[in-house]
Chain A
Amino acid sequence: QKEVEQDPGPLSVPEGAIVSLNCTYSNSAFQYFMWYRQYSRKGPELLMYTYSSGNKEDGRFTAQVDKSSKYISLFIRDSQPSDSATYLCAMSEDTGGFKTIFGAGTRLFVKA
């Protein structure tokens, strides 16, 4: 079993839709939870960063962490064609070692 599971998709939605992206994990020691966006042939770009449980909102993006269920989500409201990319969840323990485990990434297509 992988430490982090993420459905690779692809996920195709119409413009303006609410997108829900999810990851599950098995390591209860994870404390830092991140979402990255990666365009084709580019490096990942940090979108959201959450410590421990709870919700965090930034513009059209909302990240949720449910540590009891070992489940994290990223919601994108009013999705735009420019949101079409691969979204990677990532997480790490609070060890200061910075080792991050990434999900496989979900490919999202937003159709105009």
Chain B
Amino acid sequence: GAVVSQHPSRVICKSGTSVKIECRSLDFQATTMFWYRQFPKQSLMLMATSNEGSKATYEQGVEKDKFLINHASLTLSTLTVTSAHPEDSSFYICSAAPSAQRGDTQYFGPGTRLTVL
């Protein structure tokens, strides 16, 4: 159980285009989903916390208008990188926390590798 999927797993796009990444909890409901960014050989950096039905909470330094997050249902959150630039190239990972469960258990998706040319 507790499977989280991400789509696509890899995307290459041209500078200036927008890219949407989907995160789905397949066998549980997730009130809260998280979006992370990971550069090579570095740790996960939290970008934003997404709650179903409400606006996402962004971490300091993360541009809200550039990284649009929509948590439309208890099983789906999307991250859209708008007007992508080469410096946005990174590994984006989502995670989902089962609703009504404390203890900070979160389940990670397999990640999406974004390359902006």
Contact = CB atoms under 8 A, between A and B. Distances in A.
B29 interface: no
B40 to A, nearest CB: 10
Q: Output the residue of A6, A45, A98 with the most chain B CB within 10 A.
A: A98
**How big is the B interface, by class?**
20 to 34
A55 interface: no
Interface stretch (A11-19, A36-44, A58-66, A77-85): A36-44
B43 A105 contact: yes
Contacts, number: 57
Nearest to B45: A102
A102 B43 contact: yes
B78 interface: no
A41 B91 contact: yes
A46 B95 CA distance: 11
A28 to B, nearest CB: 17
Contact of B43 (A96, A97, A98, A104): A104
Contacts of A6: 43
Chain B's interface: helix, strand, loop or mixed, by majority?
Answer: strand
A32 B106 CA distance: 12
A72 to B, nearest CB: 14
A102 B108 CA distance: 13
Nearest to A100: B104
Interface of B: 4, 6, 32, 34, 41-44, 46, 49, 91, 93, 95, 97, 102-111, 113
30 contacts: A6-B43, A8-B41, A32-B103, A32-B104, A34-B104, A36-B108, A42-B111, A43-B4, A43-B6, A43-B93, A43-B108, A43-B109, A43-B110, A44-B108, A46-B105, A46-B106, A46-B108, A49-B103, A49-B104, A51-B103, A88-B44, A92-B104, A98-B106, A100-B34, A100-B104, A103-B43, A104-B42, A104-B43, A105-B42, A105-B43
